[in-house]
Amino acid sequence: MKRLLVILLLLASPLWAVQPDEVLDDPVLEERARELSKELRCLVCRNESIDESNADLARDLRLLVRERLVAGDSDEEAMAFIVDRYGEYVLLKPTTSGANWFLWLAGPVMLLIAAGVGWGYLRARARAPAGQENAALSEAEKERLRQILDE
């Protein structure tokens, strides 16, 4: 709910995301620019890509991306250019460098651990001696059952 409080900051400027005058004439280049924009963070907003953001800074970044693409950069080169200037904070999808391996591997490793534990549990259940589940009721339970039947 409090996301709004931040979104208002963006709305405070009457501009909004991708303006008609930004759009490139070449639809292929424009499409690539849009895809890259979705992976770049608007630096003054919270958790929004420059593709969605209304902030002036996001507009500057969008224009910069387009400039690089028009200049003939590949997607990777354009991204590298922007990361060089603004730091890895602008990447909404973190790289796989250094400690970020923890982030990317956390899910798969946890899945393996959980699958291992789960498999161990299932094996144990399958091998458990049958008949155990029909174990006799405790004295208290028998007493209560008798009461209920009497009622």
Partner 1 sequence: MVTELGHFALILAFMVAIVQMVVPMVGAHKRWSGWMAVAEPAANAQFFLTAFAFGALVWAFVTSDFSLRLVVLNSHSAKPMLYKISGAWGNHEGSMLLWVLIVTLFGAMAAWFGGGLPPSLKARVLAVQSAIAVAFFAFILFTSNPFLRVAVPPFDGQDLNPLLQDPGLAFHPPFLYLGYVGLSMAFSFAVAALIEGRVDAAWARWVRPWTLAAWVFLTIGIALGSWWAYYELGWGGFWFWDPVENASFMPWLLAAALLHSAIVVEKREALKSWTILLAIIAFGFSLVGTFIVRSGLLTSVHAFANDPERGIFILVILAIFVGGALTLFAARAQAMEAKGVFGTVSRESALVVNNILLAVSCFVVFFGTLWPIVAEMGFGRKLSVGAPFFNSAFTPFMVALGIILPLGSMLPWKRGKLGRVTWSLRYAFGLALALALLVWAMQTERSALGPVGLFLGAWITFGAVIDLWSRTGRKGSLRRMMRLPRADWGKAVAHTGLGVTMFAIAGLMAWEVEDIRVARMGEPFEVGGFTLTLEDVQRVQGPNYYSTMGFVKLERNGRQIATLNPEKRDYPVARMPTTEAAIDYRILRDVYVVIGDRQNDGSWTMRTYIKPFANWIWAGSILMALGGALSLSDRRFRVAAGARKTPAKGVPAE
Binding mask 69-108 for partner 1 (x = CB under 8 A): ------------------xxxxxxxx---xxx-xxx-xx-
Nearer to partner 1, 27 or 72 (CB): 27
Smallest separation, CB 100 to partner 1 (Å): 7
Using CB under 8 A, count the residues that bind partner 1.
Answer: 64
Smallest separation, CB 48 to partner 1 (Å): 7
Q: What are 43's two structure tokens?
A: 């630096």
Here the contacts of 38-45 (C-beta below 8 Å, separation 24 or greater) are 38/92, 39/79, 39/91, 39/92, 39/93, 40/65, 40/79, 40/82, 40/90, 40/91, 40/92, 41/89, 41/90, 41/91, 41/92, 42/10, 43/86, 43/89, 43/90, 44/9, 45/6, 45/9, 45/10
Distance CA 82, CA 97 (A): 17
12 binds partner 1, rule: CB under 8 A: yes
Given the structure tokens 């990777």, which residue do they identify? 76
Binding mask 15-54 for partner 1 (x = CB under 8 A): xxxxxx--x--------------xx-x----xxxx--x--
The footprint of partner 1 (CB under 8 A) covers 1-8, 11-12, 14-20, 23, 38-39, 41, 46-49, 52, 87-94, 98-100, 102-104, 106-107, 110-111, 114-115, 118, 121-123, 125-126, 128-130, 132-135, 137, 141, 144-145, 148
